[in-house]
Amino acid sequence: MGRIGKEIAGQIISFIGLVLVAVTCGIPMWRVTSYIGANIVTGQTIWDGLWMNCVMQSTGQMQCKLNDSVMKLSKDLQAARALVIISLIVGFIGFIITFVGAKCTGCLDKDSSQAKVVIISGCLFIVSAVLVLIPVCWSAAITITDFQSVLTIETQKRELGASIYIGWAAAALLLLGGIILTTSCPPQKPMYGYPGYPPAQMYPYAGPANYSPVYAPPSSQPYTAPGSYAPTKPYGAPTAYSARQYL
């Protein structure tokens, strides 16, 4: 796969991961609590999210309420609200930077500068993946611990919601896209001339180090030519010309 293909693939995968992070942040399904009483009519399902809590009755009615205060949330959800928002901001910045350094856009002239900008965007995607993975794993660990605890009432045991699984998928896609973008290495040697041709080989100068002019005194001996400049074949010109009468 060429460099342009790798960059496009990394952008697409990272964008899908960024969209899944937004979905994880928005939907109120981090924890799901199912309660079924003696009569099935009294059954209800409670969804806990970062921004609101929803209650769905067995009759199909749903009621949602926004969280008035952050302090009402558990510690893991408080940290999840902050970390997921930071992950969205970092991922969005990395996605914008990829268009600046992409080889197909031509915003930068040098290949080395383009590759460095793409590597920076890949690192931002990896940081975004770590930021969304921390709260998702933390919330999943607390939910599983409370579910297996003997002190928790049977009707209050919570299960993993859809946001947890979507968050894991988002972190995996962001990590994969970031790794693909960080492998776009800059060229090690500068290229000259036309593309596809190797640069001309440079040879070191082996002459004298002193470049100042040197003057020699004129010689006192007469100059003698090294060879004879007489023609090898005599010309056929006449020795005398006859006078002509011009009328």
148-172, pLDDT tens digit by residue?
877 777 767 788 888 999 999 999 9
Task: Enumerate residues 6+ apart whose C-beta is below 8 A from 56.
Answer: 44, 45, 47, 62
Give ∠ CA 83-19-145 in degrees, rounded to 5.
45
Look at residue 74 in the predicted model and tell me its pLDDT: 83
Structure confidence at residue 35 as a pLDDT band (50, 70, 90)? low
pLDDT above 70: residue 242: no
Give exposure, 155-166, as e/b (b: 16+ Cβ within 10 Å): eeebebbebbeb
Structure confidence at residue 13 as a pLDDT band (50, 70, 90)? very high
Burial label for 45, CB within 10 Å (0-12, 13-18, 19+), is middle
pLDDT above 90: residue 18: yes
Q: Compute the distance between CA of residue 32 and CA of residue 48 in angstroms, rounded to an integer.
A: 6
Look at residue 152 in the predicted model and tell me its pLDDT: 73
**Domain coordinates of the chain in residue numbers?**
3-27+73-183
Longest dimension (CA), the chain: 154
Question: Which one of 50-64, 194-208, 210-224, 229-243 scores highest in mean pLDDT?
Answer: 50-64
Structure confidence at residue 202 as a pLDDT band (50, 70, 90)? low
Q: Compute the distance between CA of residue 179 and CA of residue 214 in angstroms, rounded to an integer.
A: 63
Look at residue 193 in the predicted model and tell me its pLDDT: 46
Q: In the predicted model, what is the mean pLDDT of the chain?
A: 76
Look at residue 213 in the predicted model and tell me its pLDDT: 58
Question: Any bridge partners for residue 58, and if so which?
Answer: none
Tokens encoding 60: 């199909």
Look at residue 236 in the predicted model and tell me its pLDDT: 54
* Higher per-residue pLDDT: 173 or 146: 173
Q: Compute the distance between CA of residue 166 and CA of residue 139 in angstroms, rounded to an integer.
A: 13
For 76-113, how does the pLDDT look when each residue is reduced to its tens digit (9 = 90+)?
888 998 999 999 999 999 999 888 866 655 656 566 67
Main-chain phi, psi angles of 46, to 5 degrees: -110, 130
Q: Compute the distance between CA of residue 85 and CA of residue 129 in angstroms, rounded to an integer.
A: 12
To the question of domain 3-27+73-183 being in CATH 1.20.140.10, the answer is no
pLDDT above 60: residue 12: yes
Question: Any bridge partners for residue 34, and if so which?
Answer: 45
Which amino acid, 156? Q
